[in-house]
Amino acid sequence: MFIMENRKGCVREEMESYKETILTLSDPEAMQALAEAERDWKEGKVHSFEDVFGE
């Protein structure tokens, strides 16, 4: 794989983001938690930012 980095390191940050995504997708517990969160969202079992933090 050939990667060229610019002066601000954007490519490096993007690769780190991809790495974190792969790690999350390969973690069964994380995927189960995401699926549960999605079900809760669809069922309306969520709270707004204002409800939680009063702002």
Q: What is the pLDDT of residue 6?
A: 61
State how far the Cα of 18 lies from the Cα of 12, in Å rounded to an integer.
10
Q: How confident is the model at residue 14 (pLDDT cuts 50, 70, 90)?
A: confident
Q: Report whether 11 contacts 4 (CB < 8 A).
A: yes
Segment 15-54, tens digit of pLDDT: 888 999 999 999 999 999 999 999 999 999 999 999 999 8
From first CA to last CA, the distance across the chain in angstroms is 47
- 40: amino acid identity, one letter: D
